[in-house]
Structure 1
Amino acid sequence: MSSKRVSPFAGVRYEHLVAGVSGGVASTLILHPLDLLKIRFAVSDGAASAKPHYTGLTQAVGQIFRHEGIRGLYRGVTPNVWGAGSAWGFYFLFYNTIKSWLQGGNSKVHLGPGLHMVAAAEAGVLTLVMTNPIWVVKTRLCLQYTEGASAGAAASATHYNGMVDALVKTYKYEGVRGLYKGFVPGVFGVSHGALQFMAYEEMKVQYNRYRSLPIDSKLTMVEYLAFASLSKLFAAVTTYPYQVLRARMQDQHAQYDNLRHCIKETWRLNHIVGFYRGLSPNLMRVVPATAITFVVYEKTSEFLFQFRSEDQTAASPGQD
């Protein structure tokens, strides 16, 4: 770690925000149906009759298509695009700002696994505070199983006509607490991003050292794909149970008193298997999604920084 101290805001670069948003939006539009399947499998505990029962990926896709049409596979896509775009944008912005501050502004300083995890964890908490309401809405729209709402006031409170309607109704009937349901397991889930970014950064560093190059040297698209996929696979398998708990606490069809109650009920109904429901569609989605996100991010940020450099050079032609 560099002994030089710079302002925490010195490393703020809009390029990280724009590149992160681009990567998040691109991967979400391509792979949203798998995210919907992951959520529906995660909340399927066999106890609530209002929820469809799925026996496998093929059967689930067929049942959703028959009862809800192609739109059913894209329920919740709007808040998912907003959520993924903003989350990745803020995450890369916060992470690189914190990382730059820890490095003292010198990108060739190797922080090591511990400080990489610290930077990623801090970025994760800041991002979660800003995006949790969007994830609540996305989860609830993904868990809206039919087009029509049943009769009664309770049905009107849990039937949503879109992202804005879901935000308004959640706040109206549940207040700020409703918009931040699942926040606690989400905080635990910060470990997911921390492990992922630590693994990703360390693989890049060790690979560049193996090639006898500076640790911040750029890689090829294939190398970015490989390191992003491996780091995501490692983090996803390690921390998946928190995603199940978060989805169940955000489910409008279920009522849990708190996180401990949700854990007890999940164990009572499904034992250890319950904490890994939806893992298969999740891995099918998150590994390629992360690969797409990171490649788009790396290439977009590289282009934007190059554009900034050329723009500054053009603005100062008299300087060496």
Structure 2
Amino acid sequence: MSDALINGLAGAGGGIIAQLITYPLQTVNTRQQTERDPKKSSRKLGTIGQMCQVVKHEGWGRLYGGLTPSLVGTAASQGVYYYFYQIFRSQAEADALDRWKKGIGDGSVGMFSSLAVAALAGCVNVLFTNPIWVVVTRMQTHTKASTETRLNRNLSIVPDETILAVVEPPPYGTSHAVQEVYDEAGLWGFWKGVFPTLIMVSNPSIQFMLYETLLKKLKARRASSKKGNDAVTALEIFLLGAVAKLGATVVTYPLLVVKSRLQAKQVTGGDKKLHYKGMFDAIVKMIHYEGLSGFYKGMSTKIVQSVLAAAVLFMVKEELVKGARMLVKRNTTRVVNVARSKPL
């Protein structure tokens, strides 16, 4: 099994676990980002208050709206990202070694090379998985009230006796979200928000640049103080991942808000400030109607969710990689020993 495949599978596993733990926070955060009415009382409730409101009015299930496609998206995103990241990283390390042999550099991958590697892997990931996240955003921002509004609009054209037969709105599932996106904009609708998302590859790029830099420094300090032992514990990986994600989130959060606005259901007709034609139209309208504060809606929730998710992901991923490499090494040793034990 190649090192790239090991990292890809470990990244997918770590991402799924992190997603399961932090998903309710993610749902509330997406709703905060896409809230366009500054008079809404939900803005004053705080994260916990909004979670309680969702449970009270819509049930526990709405906190996990879109969980299934989100888990698929997480597994796909982390798997694709880590797979290509390892491939690009290995190539960067080989290039750095070649330059070192020619007397250029110290043979290690520099900060900017790490940034470029993470950016390339992020671009590949975005282009592959953006449709999944459009569907997830629709399901996270869909409310019981919007289902009832749509149902009432449809029932207004049917006889009263038919309306009496209706007990409750039908559940809003993945197929409904997919159909809704397709009806609005066709296949292109599944790549809504792709431009700010591509720009946002700077988030994992900054995250991995910080993580690799901090990890490298920690290992160097550990090696110099403990007779060459540069082992890093799971708790240290957790903390490094948290710090790296915190820095990346603070820098790129406004783009995340714009992306969520574009991927959420667009309001056609009525108030023009609620409808966005594209990334630049969204930015201009947000500045005009909401001010700069609009770009930071729900940021505190996002910091808690993303930092916790990233920390769990890094910790689980590194442990899975260690276990997989030990397993591969053990199997390889066993095969070699069996081969040596056979008589010629």
Counterpart position of 2:158: none
Determine if the alignment matches structure 1 residue 41 to structure 2 residue 32. yes
SS of corresponding position for 2:151 = coil
The structure with more radius of gyration: 2
Mark the runs of 5 or more structure 1 residues left unpaired by the alignment: 1-9, 154-158
The aligned runs of 1:142-153 (5 Å cut-off) are 142-146=140-144, 148=148, 149-152=150-153
The corresponding residue for 1:181 is 192
Match in the other structure for 2:306: 286
The worse-fitting range, judged by mean Cα deviation, of 210-219 and 70-79 is 210-219
2:15 to 9, 19, 24: 24
Q: What is the percent sequence identity of the aligned residues?
A: 27
Cα distance change of structure 1 residues 219 and 265 upon mapping to structure 2, 3 Å threshold? same
Structure 1 residue 191 and structure 2 residue 202: aligned? yes
1:241 match? 254
Match of residue 54 from structure 1: 43
Q: How many residues align?
A: 304
Deviations for 1:260-291, whole angstroms, at most 9, x for unmatched residues?
11001111122111000010110111111101
Contact 2:266–2:276 under 8 Å retained in 1: no
Give the corresponding residue for 1:275: 295
- Choose from 52, 66, 71 the match for 1:81: 71
For residues 90 and 9 of structure 2, the distance between their equivalents in structure 1, rounded to whole angstroms, comes to: 18
* Structure 1 partner of 2:162: none
1: distance between equivalents of 2:117 and 2:76? Answer: 18
Q: Contact between 2:15 and 2:74, CA under 8 Å: does it hold in 1? A: yes
Matched with 1:122 is 120
Deviation (angstroms), 1:63: 1.7
CA contact (8 A) 2:115 2:208 kept: yes
Conserved 8 A contact 2:181-2:189 = yes
Compare the two structures and name the one with the higher helix fraction.
2
| Residues 160-218 of structure 1: CA deviation (Å, up to 9, x unaligned) | 73224422442344212100000000011001111000000011111111223699954
Q: 1:64: which partner in 2?
A: 54
1:207 corresponds to which residue? 218
Distance 1:71 1:85 in 2: 21
In 1, the alpha carbon distance for the partners of 2:176 and 2:336 equals 51
CA RMSD of aligned residues (A): 2.7
Which residue of structure 2 aligns with residue 3 of structure 1? Answer: none
Give TM-score scaled by structure 2 length: 0.82
| Equivalent in the alignment of 1:262 | 282
Instruction: Using structure 1 for the length normalisation, give the TM-score.
Output: 0.87
| Equivalent in the alignment of 2:327 | 307
Q: Which amino acid aligns with 2:206?
A: L
Structure 2: gaps (5+ residues): 98-105, 155-169, 268-274
Give the distance between the partners of 1:197 and 1:99, measured in 2 at CA.
Answer: 11
CA distance in 1, matches of 2:260, 2:96: 40
- Given that 1:44 and 1:53 are in contact with CA atoms closer than 8 Å, whether structure 2 keeps it comes out as no
